[in-house]
A and B are shown apart, each in its own frame.
Chain A
Amino acid sequence: MLDGGIGTATKRREDVRFLMGRGKYTDDHTPAGTCYAAFARSDMAHGRIVSIDAAAAEGMPGVLAVFTGADFADVGSNPAGWLINSRDGTPMYEPKRPVLAHGKVRHVGDAYAAVIAETREQAMDAVEALEVEIEPLDAVVDMAAALADGDNRVHDDLPGNQCFDWGWIEDNREATAAAIEAAPHVTTLELVNNRLVPNAIEPRCSIGEYDPGTGDYKLTTTSQNPHLTRLLISAFVLGIPENKLTVIGPDVGGGFGSKIYHYGEEALVLSAAKRLGRPVKWTATRSEAFLTDAHGRDHVTRIELACETDGTFIAFRTETMANVGAYLSNFSTATPTFLHGTLMAGNYTVPNVYVNVKAVFTNTAPVDAYRGAGRPEATYSLERVIDKCARELGIDPIAIRRKNFIQPDQYPYASAAGLEYDSGNYDALMDVLERRADLAGFEGRRAESERRGKLRGLGINSYIEACGIAPSNLVGQLGSRVGLYDAATVRVNATGNISVMVGAHSHGQGHETAFPQIVADMLGVDPATIEIVHGDTSKIPFGMGTYGSRSLAVCGSAVHRATEKVIVKARKIAAHMMSVSADDVDFADGQFSVPGTNKFVAWGDVALKAYIPHDFPLEEIEPGLEETAFYDPANFTYPSGAYACEVEVDPETGVVDVVSMVAADDFGNVVNPLIVTGQVQGGLAQGIGQALLEQTTYDADGQLLSASYMDYAMPRADDLPTLVVDHSSVTECTHNPLGVKGCGEAGAIGSPPTVVNAVIDALARGGHDVAHIDMPLTPVRVWTALQQA
């Protein structure tokens, strides 16, 4: 293993600038002449815009322009990226999503006007001076009521508010029903996957610029995928030619999904920049972030598990209502369908799976992919109902899972939910977990807790996820409007150092450290000589960005492929320099040599020669040493894991204390174990937050009650236990060149059911027969359950 190459726990190089306060996030950029945008946002969930009088606002100090929905009535719509058909074959309902609300406002926070002024404060003051009449309409908030009430419509031409009614796999519907009907045991569970606000700590921010000399636009924005944002603005919303629009996602302070999507504010600042001929900047307040960032989860689910009396699984059937909010955010239709339904077989050899999802419009903020995106919802439903089933049948929760695990000799394994898993070893993960979590010692710890008057419980969970989001061929069949490859260019400069331009975007994932490890490993050069360039569409090849635990598996593989091409070219140059055939040249440790001779040339000599080709046979070797690869994999990757959590419940108060959390994951090969551990720990914290703390609450009028950090309980340091992470159990991905699977979402997928299973276990051990408590398991919910059981 090369020191600093693949598998090395290299410290992150990007840390130095962040630790010095030298990161350059979007809001840290203020081009000369910048003016500021502020948005007028609806304070009611649903209403008809009667009039907007901007005269007074336009006369306020410093005000440069006022925009309303009418200004954008003729531009395009921000689209849903996936087209889903209902069970009967009809296409989903896709409403127009305008830059600014026009005609109606559809959720609290929906922007219907924007003011541009010399300063942020002047813009905000002028927003207050807009004279606006909005006729209130009844708000559609509850999903079941939304489906039932034909007169109360989020979109006027859609009675019943249903976006689609999707079945997966529709051909399995009857067989699954018959299997459940005939099964000796059926466990049923109704549950809510609570709505979450992603809460990247950097609020969204966008700066639009326009150069009247060249007609070029530039958007600097908090984006996880600058090329996707550019494509959406160019092809769907504003029609700016792609070659006249540069999108830059500079340092970005976390995303977790919420910064994948194109938002109207980005189109507004670009349009305003052109009209005013000045840079226009908008920075969200945290309050705006709560109201307008795409939220996550929000499923109401009924799941049935049919099995033999010995616990052998026969069928899983899921019926879900998924909230999509007022408009379709870009991935919102994929998240509850193909990122959820396809995972409903879990890690198990169950023969029958059927999933029905009704997506519902409501007068709430759009809901879209948030860390895990569909897979946490699938895992939560499945692993909760399995736990309930084990309890009903009196089977140990680990034993029932092991009994049904897909076995290592069954790969590739075609799951009953339509995916082909390429590799895994779930028993091995459970073995690691049993040791790392010292499950044998649980009873002693439980007895010790009991002496202190606490109920201690143990929660177990297994998960599988499909990530490395790609492959284009498959997602195309599933309704995606885009391809999901990624791209990298490896440029060897004349002096031998290397620039690697990647389509993935790093906003915490450590690409600037991890990607050079791959190239260094392959070339046998010092990783310090390799720089990563990302986030700027004018510098990088067309890549699809970072989400879905895809960066290493997809973009990392593109880096691998491009580096392979560089080696092929460099070998030709080296052969020419040594006057031998390329077939006779060996390459190792950064040096080209001819075995059996004393001929060799060093890496730096080949790089220099590539740019000083005085004697090249130009018909055989082009000058330069730079290669690009687009990588589109054959399949998703399938990370998996086994998690254990121990909780102490205070029976007097219902307070839950997570006292241990252990994650055993199989990510395939690991490039940088330090970064991977951090990714899992962050996911665990978000999952524990979902399980115990985080609740997005709209009241019956559609007012967001949990719209600040005073009201929305973010996990803080003292809410969390020591997070133990183990990724030593490895089965390689069989179809990408690195054998990697992806680790970004795992912790957030695996931990919520683990925590809830632990609490239910604690209550059961205390003699309280509680079948289920919905997340978040706040003290009042747990206490109430204790009183009733």
Chain B
Amino acid sequence: MPEISMRVNGTDRTVRVENRTLLVHALRDGLRLTGTHVGCDTSQCGACTIHVDGAPVKACSMLAVEADGAEVETIEGQAMSDGSLNTIQQAFQDHHGLQCGFCTPGMVMATAALLRENPKPGDAEIRHALKGNICRCTGYQGIVNAILAASGQPVPAAMDSEPAPVAAE
């Protein structure tokens, strides 16, 4: 079995894989980085989204051997150096952008890639950018709100989670 080397979240790692092993399985089973999830087998759900050499990649759509020598970032490397949530992660918590949490690592990684390309995306741009990531829990509203907030944009009151006060009848 080939041995591959990657720089993963800033640390050099080597792992032995079969030729057919997908990158996501090398991360999960080989390196025990289980924050990257597998939600489908057709590269549709986006739960396994990571960054390879700075670009968002569905880790189920790439063989592990293809990542030999690559710079890989996963959800485990996203927090601030003091261990606190980064801006995107904090916005997801603040705006209830997750429920079961299974799609969440992929959503956070996809968001990081989006904001690198487009620091102030509008509602439609955000929704378009999330096309490759399926969430079954939130209806995406909390996620869209979180991304608006993470990019320093106001979350319109009528769109946020708190209902506007309604006078008693």
Chain A residues near B (Cβ < 8 Å)? 9, 11-12, 14-25, 27-28, 30, 121, 199-203, 251-254, 256, 283, 285-287, 428, 431-432, 435-436, 507-510, 673-675, 677-679, 681-686, 708-710, 714-718, 720, 722-729, 747
Contact = CB atoms under 8 A, between A and B. Distances in A.
A202 B39 contact: yes
Contacts of B105: 18, 21
Interface of B: 18, 20, 28-29, 33-42, 44-45, 47, 74-76, 78-79, 85, 89, 92-94, 96, 98-105, 108, 123-124, 126-128, 130-131, 133-144, 158-159, 161-166, 169
Contacts of B38: 27, 203, 283
Contact of B124 (A683, A709, A718): A718
A16 B93 contact: yes
Contacts of A682: 99, 136-139
A417 B22 CA distance: 54
B100 A508 contact: yes
B126 to A, nearest CB: 7
Nearest to B105: A21
Given A678-B142, A681-B138, A726-B163, A717 B131 contact: yes
A200 B134 CA distance: 10
B137 A710 contact: no
B127 A717 contact: yes
A201 B47 contact: yes
B136 A254 contact: yes
Nearest to B32: A30
Contacts of A253: 37, 39, 100-103
Q: How would you classify the secondary structure of chain B's contact residues: helix, strand, loop or mixed?
A: loop
A434 B103 CA distance: 35
Contacts of A14: 101
Contact of B102 (A254, A510, A673): A254
14 contacts: A11-B93, A20-B75, A20-B89, A199-B136, A200-B136, A202-B39, A678-B161, A682-B137, A716-B127, A717-B143, A720-B139, A720-B140, A722-B123, A729-B166
Given A9-B162, A20-B76, A723-B139, A202 B144 contact: no
Contact of B162 (A202, A677, A717, A720): A677
Given A21-B75, A686-B136, A201 B103 contact: yes
Contacts of A673: 161-163
Given A675-B96, A708-B44, A724-B159, 9 more contacts: A18-B105, A19-B75, A19-B93, A20-B35, A28-B34, A121-B20, A508-B101, A686-B139, A716-B130
Given A202-B102, A677-B161, A714-B136, A22 B166 contact: no
Contacts of A23: 35, 101-102
- List the 10 closest pairs (A to B, CB-CB), nearest first: A21-B35, A253-B102, A18-B101, A685-B139, A709-B44, A21-B75, A508-B99, A508-B100, A681-B139, A286-B40
A708 B92 CA distance: 28
A717 B144 CA distance: 8
Contact of B136 (A20, A28, A201, A510): A201
A38 to B, nearest CB: 14
A23 to B, nearest CB: 5
A201 B100 contact: yes
A15 B98 contact: yes
A717 B126 contact: yes
Contact of B44 (A428, A710, A724): A710
Contacts of B103: 201, 253
Contact of B127 (A200, A203, A718, A727): A718
